[in-house]
Amino acid sequence: MKMLINVPETVVADALRGIAAAHPELTVDVENRVVARRDAPVAGKVGLVSGGGSGHEPLHAGFVGPGMLSAACPGEVFTSPVPDQMVRAAAAVDSGAGVLFVVKNYTGDVLNFEMAAELAEDEGVQVAQVVVDDDVAVSDSTFTAGRRGTGATLFVEKIAGALADEGAPLDRVAAVARQVNGASRSFGVALGAVTTPAKGSPTFDLPAGELELGIGIHGEPGRERRPMMTSGEIADFAVNAILEDLRPTGPVLALVNGMGATPLLELYGFNAEVHRALSERGVPVARTLVGNYVTSLDMAGCSVTLCQVDEELLRLWDAPVRTAALRWGL
């Protein structure tokens, strides 16, 4: 497979150097693998720290900035960052108001963030955690106990980040982050396999003419394989899977997310089908975001994430944000 890299061993460091060159508003510690707001810590503000394996860009470094994360910790490709990174990030963004760790539900991430929270608290940093587990496709998977954390991570980071920027205390920011996670569900579909730099070839076999329903963001198996379906059929399947679990009684945020190799032309067409499916089922959509936000390197496919919102959550979603990958209102 052809890749725009030097050698697999330096992929993450090279990307971090590129982020630093493109975004002077960020502080990028390439050696210690921490990306932070240059103005951190912000007086009186709860710090938000997230992270995970690289390969899901723009998650998480692309979401560092006003209105979202205070810092991000990128691990190696599809590998959890280590506790030392998280402790450094927490110390860099703590203003004395505490730090919230936003953790996707993968075993390595959960264990390392828990260890980091203990170490940070030993250093005098108050830490709360929220674990994102929104994927309805499977109850357990290759890397998880319980549901996987996927697209809802963006909703949690955006809404909790807006509340933190308003000066809310740590317990309130953590409670709203958990509320968003509890109100969110996701379902993903793979049309093609993912290729990691270290392997240099597809990590699983998906024959031509087939797709996998319920795939994870690391190429983990889903619910089932079927012959290729139309965009409308995929939208119906994904929306049904989500609504069987979420059962919203009000408007939702909708994220139609590309997995890395699906063009926007296809994603917007798929978004039309998702809106059609939701309308037929009586679910109003308050806001929609379409694009590549929680990816899996070069995987072809998409995911749908829905989050039921009230007026307060919608207000926080609409609040200004300025990051490398998400910005409005500023």
* Euclidean distance between CA atoms 26 and 42, whole angstroms: 14
DSSP 256-321: EEE-BSS-HHHHHHHHHHHHHHHHHTT--EEEEEEE-SS--TTB-EEEEEEEE--HHHHHHHHS-E
Residue 257 tokens read as 């997310």
Closest CA to 323 of 161, 129, 163: 161
* Euclidean distance between CA atoms 131 and 105, whole angstroms: 6
DSSP assignment, residue 117? Answer: H
3-state class of 123 per DSSP? coil
Residues whose CB falls within 8 Å of the CB of residue 116, separated by 6 or more in sequence, listed in order: 83, 84, 85, 86, 87, 90, 101, 127
Radius of gyration of the chain (CA): 19
Closest CA to 246 of 174, 202, 184, 289: 184
Given the residues 23, 56, 60, 275, the one annotated as active site: 56
3-state class of 190 per DSSP? strand
Helix, strand, coil share (%) of the chain residues, nearest 5: 35, 25, 40
Based on the residue annotation, tell me whether 275 is a catalytic residue of this protein: no
| H or E element, residue 104 | strand 99-104
Nearest 5°: CA angle at 101, between 292 and 29? 70
3-state class of 131 per DSSP? strand
Nearest 5°: CA angle at 83, between 19 and 35? 15
Catalytic residues: 56, 218
